[in-house]
Structure 1
Amino acid sequence: MKLFFRMALFFILALVFIGCGQQGATSTAGSQGDASKRTEAVEPKEEGFRTVSTQKGEIKIPANPKRVVELANSTEELLIMGIKPVMSSALSNGKIPPYLEGKLDGVNVVNANSVKVEDILAMKPDLILLSARTEKLYEQASKIAPTIQLQGDFYTWRERFPELAAIFGKEKEMKEWMAQYEAKAKKIGDEIKAKTGSETFALYVSNQSHYRIYGKALIGDVLFTDLGLPMAEGTPTKTTVEQVSLESLYKYNPDHIFLGYYAGGGGNTQANLEIAKKKNADLQSSELFKKLKAYETGNVYSLEYATWSLGTYPLGKEQALEKIRDIILKK
């Protein structure tokens, strides 16, 4: 009888120990599973972001940003790539250029030089674009959202466009637009040169205080790079623009002269534009100017500010191609 009780007690104790061992194994497995989940929560696999290399270092940006604040004068490149910013620096003389009408509906269009950090914050951006001209905003802007300061400027738009395309992964759209633009420019350039042959061109520009001769910059870039028109001897090639005196303009003596004006230092206000326009008129009425070959042959083309400003950004340059063709061929 005693033996029976001893065997029964041994059997019961064995069952208890086996149960405890299984419970311990289950608890350990559960603990390991929870730790795995905690690790995954702490170090999640980030999706929808990518890292881009910029002059400020590597920056993580949204793969498909939805609320882009553009303060780098790059709105037209963005529109070409199918990106509509929530804030744009596309103002020209305080207005949206006519050729952009309808393309920026609902967009807060601002003067990039006077925008405040509070204005940027109110846009709730997920990406901010700056340039060297708006670098002063970088430190504060980068605390609001990922911020990229572009290396290029609108003077170097052919380099800046690929830079932007790489940031947004829109190289295909950029290349397609550039190809059609260059084909259009070549066609119009050939039409003009069929009439003017080897005759030379120059671009004289005035602001409130001085005169300039332009090489391959702004609308000069359209004339001499895109359309391939012959440059007057002495036109700057190592720089994009040179300040000149009224007396020195005579040495260029091109067959065709384009005249433009813009507001320089002091702000691009209507009052400053009127001063620059008056200085441009003074140039044309001078006795020295009337001795130039282009004046004597009637090949002087005055560009209103709206036309001059077309040469600044890509979509405007496309308009400028047609405008220049009409100015020369319809004369």
Structure 2
Amino acid sequence: MKKSILLLMSLFILALALVGCASGNTSNEQDTNQAPEEKATRVVTDIKGKVEIPVQPERIVDISGASDILSLLGYEVIGTANSDGYDYTKFPSYLENVLGHAKILGYSMLAEMDVEAIIALNPDLIVISTVQEKMYDQLSKVAPVVMVEMKQMDWKEDFMHVAQIFGEEEKATAWINDYLAKAEAVGQTIRTTYGEESSYLSFLASGGSLFIFDGAGLGTILYDDMGLAKPVGMPQQENISLPVVTFEGLAQIDSDYIFAIATEEDLVALTASSIWNGTEAVKNGNVVTLPASPYFNQGYSPIGRLAFVEEVEALLQSMHE
């Protein structure tokens, strides 16, 4: 009889233990299967209106062309359209170390890009420009979308526009001020070295045409940021489109020093021109020749502008080496 009672008690204890184990397993499974904690969000205002975005986005895809600005504001992108203007499959050299880890999705001035490639990156925030507005609704189904307007005429305005949307005006202002102080100092050194009144011209020879940098690109680095003199005879730039001149028109621009940016093919045509070779800057050996890639894009990027300012003295010194 005692043996029967002991056997029953043992079975009862074993049953309780099994129930306890089963309850523990259920609890663990419930903990494992709990929905992940939702990320904190905030509401920002872009040119479309108010949009709710993550407070700390971790997987930003930017196809607006503002990836360099975002990096300066402390954000990393995993997908970008800040590719080289002459080869959409690579980065311009001045952005390789900044954006080299990101996937290139196209070129920022294109209206449409591969949506499937964007989806594959699993973004938690997408940044587009007004150029890609037709993609807005489709991309809004993938992740929150912020739309910016990159006017490409005043780089500081574009920089601050992006900064204001993300609430990073203080960072942007500090970076711009530091850059302008450096550009002004380099400009003063150049004026001291090459003459206070010496004038400077930059142009792009591409596709058989000559494009003058005045109110955009490298022109604004030379004239606005560095305070160098603009030559007489410059065509005025009224919008994002660079003024186009003929060889005769180029010869009428009376510049002491020239930055000639050109494709290989156009450089051959340029150096074979008697009109070009007859200009005073060429005859005096005061020409710096640079490749179209990356220098065409460079003046439109804050990081590119800084890179040019940091190398321009060496470029000028190389003229007579």
Question: Which amino acid in 2 is paired with 1:305?
Answer: A
In structure 2, what is the Cα distance between the partners aligned to 1:60 and 1:176? 27
Partner of 1:282: 269
- Normalization by structure 1: what TM-score? 0.75
Show CA shifts across 1:200-249 (max 9, x none).
11122111131111203112221122111111123244426201112221
Structure 2 regions of 5+ residues with no counterpart?
Answer: 1-37
Partner of 1:42: none
Query: Identity of counterpart residues, as a percentage?
Result: 28
Partner of 1:302: 289
Number of paired residues? Answer: 272
Partners of 2:105 and 2:114 within 8 A in 1: no
Partners of 1:214 and 1:236 within 8 A in 2: no
- Normalization by structure 2: what TM-score? 0.78
Partner of 2:224: 225
Question: Which amino acid in 1 is paired with 2:130?
Answer: A
Question: Which amino acid in 1 is paired with 2:104?
Answer: V
Partners of 1:216 and 1:222 within 8 A in 2: no
Whether 1:110 aligns to 2:68 is no
Partner of 2:30: none
Partner of 1:88: 80
In structure 1, what is the Cα distance between the partners aligned to 2:97 and 2:193? 36
In structure 2, what is the Cα distance between the partners aligned to 1:307 and 1:50? 37
**Given the alignment, which residue of 279, 285, 292 partners 1:292?**
279
1:105 Cα deviation from its structure 2 partner: 5.4
Partner of 2:27: none
Partner of 2:308: 320
Show CA shifts across 1:276-312 (max 9, x none).
4322331232111122111121111111234514323
1:145 Cα deviation from its structure 2 partner: 1.7
1:106 Cα deviation from its structure 2 partner: 4.1
Show CA shifts across 1:107-152 (max 9, x none).
2223144631111112222221111332332221122222122112
In structure 2, what is the Cα distance between the partners aligned to 1:104 and 1:78? 11
Partners of 2:92 and 2:294 within 8 A in 1: no
Partner of 1:6: none
SS in 1 for 2:227: coil
Whether 1:71 aligns to 2:59 is no
Partner of 2:255: 254
Partner of 1:244: 245
Distance 1:89 1:249, change over 3 A: same
Question: Which amino acid in 2 is paired with 1:319?
Answer: A
In structure 1, what is the Cα distance between the partners aligned to 2:315 and 2:258? 12
In structure 1, what is the Cα distance between the partners aligned to 2:95 and 2:103? 14
Partners of 2:46 and 2:165 within 8 A in 1: no
In structure 2, what is the Cα distance between the partners aligned to 1:284 and 1:209? 13
Partners of 1:232 and 1:254 within 8 A in 2: yes
Partners of 2:201 and 2:259 within 8 A in 1: yes
Partners of 2:39 and 2:54 within 8 A in 1: no
Distance 1:95 1:129, change over 3 A: same
Partner of 1:27: none
Partner of 2:188: 190
In structure 2, what is the Cα distance between the partners aligned to 1:326 and 1:193? 14
The structure with the largest alpha-carbon Rg is 1
SS in 2 for 1:86: strand
Partner of 1:146: 144
Question: Which amino acid in 1 is paired with 2:228?
Answer: L
1:330 Cα deviation from its structure 2 partner: 4.7
SS in 1 for 2:201: strand
SS in 2 for 1:111: coil
Distance 1:104 1:234, change over 3 A: same
Deviates more, 1:177-186 or 1:58-67: 58-67
1:110-189, aligned counterparts within 5 Å? 110-112=105-107, 113=110, 115-189=113-187
